[in-house]
């Protein structure tokens, strides 16, 4: 059975043993990873107007840059990120009120993290990365 601590240890290894550097890389590569290819993918799968009052979640939100992009695109949306790597969370800046970050391990059974039927769009960046590398 996984635990928050074992996932954090796994992620630190996955991030090359230097979490601070990994967080920096995530910040630096944000633009590149959310380029016009990503935008086209998003537009193909997500149909939301700029005034949508919806709830979008970013599973593994890192330092929260994508949540901030979403806030610009959908200023009326409620936005929630989930993250458990402390060095990523350390890089989260002050965020607008519409953005909330939950510290949780997505490997765990988390029945109370989101109420049933409360989420309109869920994003998991790793899924996108697999998609583009094929
Ligand atoms: C590639 S980054 C994506 C950052 C963000 N979604 C974006 O698009 O800018 C993936 C993030 O998922 C987090 N992560 C991976 N496994 C996780 C888990 N089991 N629970 C919570 N966060 C996790 C990592 O720490 C990392 O910050």
Atom of ligand 1 nearest to the CA of 124: 6
What is the Å distance from ligand 1's center to 61 Cα?
5
Which residue spans within the chain are E strands per DSSP? 55-59, 78-83, 99-103, 121-123
Residue 59 has pLDDT above 60, yes or no: yes
What is the Å distance from ligand 1's center to 88 Cα?
8
Residue 128 has pLDDT above 70, yes or no: no
Partners of residue 58 on adjacent β-strands: 81, 123
- Band (pLDDT 50/70/90 cuts) for residue 125 is confident
CATH T-level fold of 4-133: Rossmann fold (3.40.50)
| pLDDT (tens digit per residue) in 104-115 | 999 999 999 999
| pLDDT (tens digit per residue) in 1-24 | 579 999 999 999 999 999 999 999
Which residue spans within 10-106 are E strands per DSSP? 55-59, 78-83, 99-103
Ligand 1 proximal residues by C-beta, below 6 Å: 7, 11, 26, 30, 58, 60-62, 65-66, 82-85, 88, 105-107, 125
Ligand 1, atom 27, lies closest to the CA of 62
| Pick from 26, 5, 42: nearest CA to 88 | 26
- Band (pLDDT 50/70/90 cuts) for residue 126 is low
């Amino acid at each position: 059975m996984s635990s928050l601590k074992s996932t954090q240890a796994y992620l630190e290894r996955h991030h090359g043993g230097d979490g601070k550097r990994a967080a920096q890389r995530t910040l630096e590569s944000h633009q590149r990873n959310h380029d016009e290819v990503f935008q086209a993918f998003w537009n193909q799968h997500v149909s939301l107007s700029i005034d949508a009052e919806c709830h979008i979640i970013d599973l593994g939100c890192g330092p929260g840059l994508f949540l901030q992009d979403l806030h610009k695109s959908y200023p009326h949306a409620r936005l929630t990120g989930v993250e458990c790597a402390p060095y990523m969370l350390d890089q989260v800046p002050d965020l607008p009120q519409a953005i909330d970050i939950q510290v949780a391990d997505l490997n765990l059974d988390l029945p109370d993290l989101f109420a049933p039927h409360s989420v309109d769009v869920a994003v998991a960046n790793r899924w996108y990365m697999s998609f583009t590398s094929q």
